[in-house]
Structure 1
Amino acid sequence: MTIQAVVFDIGRVLIEWEPERFYDAKIGKARREALFREVDLHGMNLGIDRGDDFKGAVYALADQHPEWAEEIRHWHDSWLQMASPEIPHSVRLMRALRDRGVPVFALTNFGAGTFDLAKTTYPFFTEFDQAFVSGHLQTLKPEGEIYAHLERDTGVAAERLLFTDDRHENIEAAAERGWQTHLFTHPQGWADRLVSEGLLTAEGAQ
C-alpha cells in the first residue's frame, strides 16, 4: 500500500528528552535516584501531557514535597534544558519529506504549555502540516482516541500512514489500527526506512 503521509513522534525522535540526565548533572546521580524514587515526576508529566496546567502541576507537586521543592520546580523552570537538543538528522528528514511534497504530521504526548514553549526554541515545531498534541486533545498515546483524531482530521486512510515512535506500545497501538510503523531507535534506521519506501532518495535522506 502506497504511503500518503508520514507521522512523527517528537520526544526522543526529533528532540532529546532525558530528564534523568538533566538531574544527574544538576544534583548528582544518587540524589536524582532518590528524588525519582520518592516523587512521581513522570506521573506528573503524564498529567501535563493530558492537559494539566504546566506550571500549576509542577508547583503543586513541589508544595506536596517541600524537601524536594527546589528540585521539582526545575521541571518547569529548566524544562528546555531537559528537552534538548534537537536531533538534527531527524529534523532534516522531516524537512526533506516536506520538500518532496509528502505531508508530515506530528503525533505526540506533549503538554499544551510545553509545546508552546518548545516552539520558541525549535522552529520546526511550526513546520508540520498538522500537529496532534495530547495536551490539546486531552488523550494520550497509546489510547485509541488520539490516533482516531489524526485519521479523522487528516482524512488519510490508516494503511497509508507511516508512523515512527520510540515506544513499543505506541507503535503497537498504531499497527493495530492498520498504520504502517517504524520503531525509532536511531535516525539512520529511520532514514533507511524512508528510502526503502521510496519517500526519499538516499542522497535526500542524509
Structure 2
Amino acid sequence: MTEIRHIVFDIGRVLIHYDPNLPFSRLIPDAEERKWFFDNVCTHDWNVEQDRGRAWEEAEALLIAEHPDHAENIRGFRRHWHEMVPHAYEDSVEIMEKLIDSGHDVTMLTNFASDTLAEARQRFDFLNRPRGVTISGEIGLIKPDRGIYDHHVATFGLEPAATLFIDDSPKNVEGAKAAGWQSVLFTDAKTLEADLQRLGITV
C-alpha cells in the first residue's frame, strides 16, 4: 500500500455537527409531522441540489409552488440553517490540527452549499487551517461522483494512491476508493486515531 502523503477531511458530521432536526423540532414539534416534512418536502434529494450549486431562492420557489401550505417551513430550512450546525467535534478537530501542525498535507472535500460553508468558516476558524477545500456547490459536482475526487486531485496536486480520505458516508468512502484513493469511514475520533495509526500516521 502506498505511503500516505495527503490527508483529506470531509466536514459535516466529521468536523462539525449537522442535524436539521434541531431547529425543526421547534418549528414542527410533532415528530410524525416533522418526519413527513423531511420525507416529502425538504427532502435529502432536494437539499443535495443546493450542495450541487442550485441557489436557495430557486430551491425554495420550486418547493413552495408544489407545497404552498408549507412555505414558511420551506423558507425556514435556510433561515435556521445556523441552528443545524451547533458545534464542532472538538476531538476530531484536534486530530486535524495536530496533523497540520506536524507538517502533514491536509485539505478538505465537502458536499456543501457555497454560502452555508462560508458561514461555517466564519463561525469555525479551524475550517480555514487546511491548505484548501473543494466545495461541491462551487464546482457543480457532488460526492460520490468520480469527477469531484478527480477535481480535488487536480486542484491540489495530489497523488490519488497516496491520498487518504476521511468521510462519514459509506458511499463517499467507496467513491474515493473507486477514484484510486485510500479511505476510511469516520465514526468517531477514537476510531479515526486508530485508523491513522494503523496506516502509519502518528497523531
Q: Deviations over 1:148-188 (max 9, x none)?
A: 01111222211100111111111111112221110111111
1:195 is displaced (CA, Å) by 2.6
Aligned position for 2:111: 109
Offset at 1:133? 0.5
Contact 1:96 1:200 in 2 (8 A): no
Aligned to 1:16: 17
What letter corresponds to residue 24 of structure 2 in structure 1?
Y
- The normalised TM-score by structure 1 is 0.90
Letter of the aligned partner of 1:78 in structure 2? H
* Amino acid in structure 2 at the alignment position of 1:156: L
Q: Check 1:63–1:119 CA distance in 2 against 1; reply closer, same or farther (3 A cut).
A: farther
Secondary structure at the aligned position of 1:139 is classed as coil
In the TM superposition, what is the alpha-carbon distance from 1:101 to its structure 2 partner? 0.6
CA offsets 1:112-151 (integer angstroms, 9 cap, x no match): 1111111121112211211001001110001111000111
Taking the aligned partners of 2:90 and 2:125, their CA distance within structure 1 comes to 12
Matched, 1:83 2:85: yes
1:51/1:135 contact within 8 Å kept: yes
| Counterpart in the other structure of 1:204 | none
Compute the RMSD of aligned alpha carbons: 1.6
Aligned twin of 2:133: 131
Q: Deviations over 1:76-115 (max 9, x none)?
A: 1110111232111111111110001101111100011111
Instruction: Name the residue aligned to 1:121.
Output: 123
Structure 1 unmatched ranges of 5 or more: 202-206
- Checking the alignment, whether the CA contact within 8 Å between 2:23 and 2:80 is kept in structure 1 is no
Hey, what does 1:190 align to over in structure 2? 192
Structure 2 unaligned spans of 5+: none
Matches for 1:21-170 after TM superposition, within 5 Å = 21-28=22-29, 29-58=31-60, 60-170=62-172
List aligned pairs for 1:167-178, cutoff 5 A: 167-178=169-180
Could you tell which deviates more after superposition, 109-118 or 56-65? 56-65
From the superposition, tell whether residues 84 and 55 of structure 1 become closer, same or farther in structure 2 (CA, over 3 Å). Answer: farther
Q: Percent identity?
A: 33
Kept in 2, the 8 Å contact 1:54–1:113? The answer is: no
Per the TM alignment, residue 34 of structure 1 is displaced from its structure 2 partner at its CA by 2.2
Contact 1:50 1:138 in 2 (8 A): yes
Aligned-partner residue type, residue 122 of structure 1 = F
Deviation larger for 109-118 or 40-49 = 40-49
For this pair of structures, how many residues does the alignment match?
Answer: 201
Q: Which amino acid is the alignment partner of residue 5 of structure 2?
A: Q
User: 2:61 and 2:21 mapped to 1: Cα distance?
Assistant: 19
